Every structure is written in structure tokens, then in C-alpha cells.
Amino acid sequence: MTTESTVRTRFAPSPTGFMHVGNLRTALYEYLIARSLGGRFLLRIEDTDRERLVDGAVEAVYRTLERVGFRHDEGPDVGGDYGPYVQSERLHLYRPFAEQLVTTGHAYRCFCTKERLESLRAPAAAEDEGGAGGSSVSGFPGGYDRHCRELSEAEVRRLLDAGAPFVIRQKMPLAGSTVFEDAVYGSISVANEELEDQVLLKSDGFPTYNFANVVDDHLMAVTHVVRGSEYLSSTPKYQLLYEAFDWKPPVYVHLPVVNGADGKKLSKRHGAVSFEALVDEGYLPEAIVNYIALLGWSPGGTRELFTLDELCEVFRIDGIGRSPAVFDYDRLRWFNGEYLRKMAPEAFLAVAAPWLADALPGGGAGLDLGRLAGALQPRVTQMTQIPGLVSFFRELPEYGIGLYSNEKMKTDPALAAEMLGKAEQELAGLGEWTHDALHAALTGLAQREGRKNGQVMWPVRIAASGTEVTPGGAIEILSVLGRDESLRRIAAGRRKLQEALGR
């Protein structure tokens, strides 16, 4: 339930695409602020931009929140006392508020046409060709010259009667400055003359984001407005809106942006950036959340592995940093490895299964997948690595006898040929093809021959895999490969060596 003092945060995505990790992080912090303060977390869909709507985007939001465990207390799907939670269903709410501001002198009707607005900007753009393409060059913030700001009542009446289309613009103070307090950036002050008379209500009657946002946040009793720092520069306008309505402003929590490795805004060219794309690339939701929590926020100590519940307990707003952070895939991968290794073997097998099925002969049927997963689990940091690691099971790759030489193991082709021959005989008579039996047979062979384990194991592993580096050692590979295929490969290795050695 909600009382006067209940903290309320909201995640307000616009369904224009898939869930970007930057948005996911914003949602996470909103969730954590609510949970850590005993508050409520709500979901609001901001779909007022009909042109940019993307099919399936709302579903992606639900799916992602679900997958990641940010449970919202209120929202379009779960209801709540402050609905509707979809902006397009709230359209009737905004106009009265805009009209109220016109009445109180905080806003005015503007009848300027799009053409006039463009002509205001065009000459300015030409002036600084090759430049930043700024629009305040015209001498007015935002490029609008406040043409309709002081229209007489009679003139307004005339235009209205003539049915001229109009927008409602916010009337910014011309002097002084506006100050607001941000929970992470501190006190920020902007000269009012820098503020544009922004549009509140479009000529089609729809509110702009800037307006709907403030109205909705107030109506929904949102106490902490959390968003990316790209909104920092428009916050003074929101602040003025709150003041004009005489509403209590929320606590502003602006988050540092997330950049790519080149310091530019994180985008597809940096790699996977949507939550689902990351999952498809073999990152676990828990790892993504843990990693992202620490991108721009710090618990203060040196601990860095936290479950979502643990984050809820230790999260504090003042741990949020101010400088932009770079999304580092290497670090994400490390977190992923940590979570992968911590999983119960069966759980790991479950997430690895689809990757294995794709890469193994017959989809892995008949193979000891549990054993294979066991070998993979401590070695994998990203599921995409699996196919490459196990491809030799499907087919023995072409390999040169150089692989049989290893300085550290003290092996060379001649020794390998000998050991392979003996291993072949030893294993052919093996009663049961189990991990323990294989281990006993091979180490026993090494002992009898007066060799180091590696001098037997290395050649056998190479023959069985044709691969220099494999997940697991000779015994794991043999046991997964099975008797027939193992013996076939060992024999093939032996013959390959004998041919090469001229014997």
C-alpha cells in the first residue's frame, strides 16, 4: 500500500525497440531504490510517439523484467491504484492541465506554423555551416522567437474562432535562474534565459514527453525520478512546471551514461546491447544484472558479487557515480564465468544443452553429456565458446604430427607412436568403459612403462581429439567419446605416426 511517505519509482520505457542495457540499468536502479527504501516500483509505458512504435517492444519489456526479476508492483499488466499505466490511455488527462497553465499565465497558445518555425532555424543553420549545427544561434533558446507569447486576447480569440491549429507552450521566465537539487549531481542552476518556451501540448492534442512525464509522475505519486543524465539539461523546465502547478517536485536521480569502448554512446556497433541479444550470446541474466549494477554504482567496499536480493539490501543512492562508464565486455564475461561456475552441475547442463546439441554428433545423443558439461563448466565464460570447444567430438580434425611433440610433457612422435600402440591394446581389453576404469588403465600403463602420466595422456588426448587444447583431459574425452570411436581414433593416430616415421 501507498502512504504519504512511501517511496515510489517508475520505469517508463517507450516501446520503440528492444531493451537496451542502458535502459535496463535505469530500471535496475529504480527497482533497487524502491526496494531498498521499502517503496514501490511501477511500470509505465510511454507510447505517445505513434510513429516510432515497434511491434513486440512492449512484450520485450515484460519478458525482460520478468527474466531479470524486477517485479513491478503496479503496471499495465498487474494494475494498481494510479492507472491507467499506458500513456496512450491517459491522453484525456493532459489538456486540462495545460489549459490550467494558460489560465495562470504559465503557458500560452502558439499558432505558429511548422514552416515559420523552420524558417526561423534555417538562416541560423546556414550561418554556421560546418559547425555544430546549433539552433540557438538565432538568438532564442531552442530557436523559437516567442512570437505568440504576447498575443492579445482579441487576437487569440480571432485565431481560435478561425479554427487555426495551435500548440500550448510553456512560458519561461525571462530573467533569473532556476535551481534544482539532484541526488547524485548536487545543486544545478540554469539561467532562465537559456530555457526554451517548450511545447507542452502538440497541435494534435497529444502531450509532449516533457509534459506528460511531469503530469504522470505527479499523478502517480512518483517520489524519485530516475533517468539518464541526458535529461539533466531539460530538468529545469520540469522543475518550473512543478512550481507552476505548485506541486512538490520529486527527488531527481540522474544516472551517468553508459558508453562503448570508444567513449561514444553504446550502440550496436560495440556489440550486443539489448538484454535479449546479450542472453542470446550466452550471458546469464543474473550476471548481466550484477555487472550492470556496478556500472556507475559502487557499494563502497571491495565485494562485487551480489544477487538481486543482496543488491536490494546494500543499495544506496549516494553510491551512484557521476562520470560516464564504459561497458566492458571482458568484465561482463568474467562475471558470467563466476555465475557459471557457481551453478549446480545440472543447472549448468540445462543452459549448456542447446549449445551442445548444435555442436555434437547426433545432437549429442548417446554421449555422456553430464561428463562433458562437467568438463566445460569451469572452462567456459560465455556459452558461445562451447561449439568451438567441442567440435572435435563431431569430427576428428585434420592435424599434423607436430601436435604430438610437447616439451613439458616430454613427448615426441616416436614416443607417441609407441604409447598409442600400447594404449590401444590396453584399452581394447578394458572391461567397462568408465572414467575410473580408463583412469586406472592409463595410469597403470604409464607406471609399468616407467613413464610420466603425461607421456601417455598427451598422445592419447591428441589422438582422440586432434586438438591441442581441449575441455578436459584424455580420460574425460575418452569417456565421452565412447569405446568404439575412441579406439578408432587412437588407432588412426598410431597409423598416422607410423607412416610419418617411415615404419
Active site residues: 268
Binding mask 266-305 for RNA (x = CB under 7 A): ----------------------------xxxxx-xxx-x-
Can residue 208 be called a binding residue for RNA (CB under 7 A)? yes
Can residue 491 be called a binding residue for RNA (CB under 7 A)? no
Nearer to RNA, 321 or 345 (CB): 321
The answer to whether the CB of 411 falls within 8 A of the CB of 451 is: no
Largest CA distance in the chain: 110
Distance (Å, whole) CA 299 – CA 351: 30
The residue whose grid cell reads 565464460 is 381
Nearer to RNA, 349 or 375 (CB): 375
Q: Which of 136, 307, 434, 447 binds RNA (CB under 7 A)?
A: 136
Nearer to RNA, 319 or 387 (CB): 319
Cell of 348: 549448468
Q: Which of 21, 37, 190, 386 binds RNA (CB under 7 A)?
A: 190
Q: What does the DSSP 8-state code read for residue 235?
A: H
CB of residue 4 vs RNA: minimum separation in angstroms?
A: 28
Cell of 483: 569405446
Q: Which of 93, 272, 312, 326 binds RNA (CB under 7 A)?
A: 326
Nearest one of 327, 325, 332 to 255, comparing CA atoms: 325
CB of residue 150 vs RNA: minimum separation in angstroms?
A: 18
Which positions from 24 through 53 interact with RNA, judged by CB under 7 A? 46, 48-49, 52
What are the angstrom distances between the C-alpha of 237 and each of 108, 188, 196? Answer: 15, 12, 8
Nearest one of 390, 414, 412 to 466, comparing CA atoms: 390
Segment interacting with RNA (CB under 7 A) among 2-10, 92-100, 131-139, 155-163: 131-139
Binding mask 435-474 for RNA (x = CB under 7 A): ----x------------xxx--xx--x------xxxxxxx
Half-sphere exposure of 331 (CA within 13 A, CB side): 14
Segment interacting with RNA (CB under 7 A) among 114-122, 269-277, 363-371, 417-425: 114-122
What are the angstrom distances between the C-alpha of 278 and each of 64, 83, 265, 314, 337? Answer: 11, 32, 17, 26, 14
Q: Which of 92, 248, 269, 408 binds RNA (CB under 7 A)?
A: 408
Q: Which of 96, 105, 131, 362 binds RNA (CB under 7 A)?
A: 131
Quote the crossing angle between the two packed helices 21-36 and 57-68, to the nearest 10°: 50
Binding mask 224-263 for RNA (x = CB under 7 A): -----xxxxxx---------------------xx-x---x
* Strand ranges in 18-92 using DSSP code E only, listed in sequence order: 40-43
Nearest one of 390, 260, 264 to 328, comparing CA atoms: 260
Which positions from 373 through 402 interact with RNA, judged by CB under 7 A? 375, 378-379, 381
Q: Which of 58, 172, 222, 325 binds RNA (CB under 7 A)?
A: 325
The answer to whether the CB of 183 falls within 8 A of the CB of 225 is: no
Can residue 143 be called a binding residue for RNA (CB under 7 A)? yes
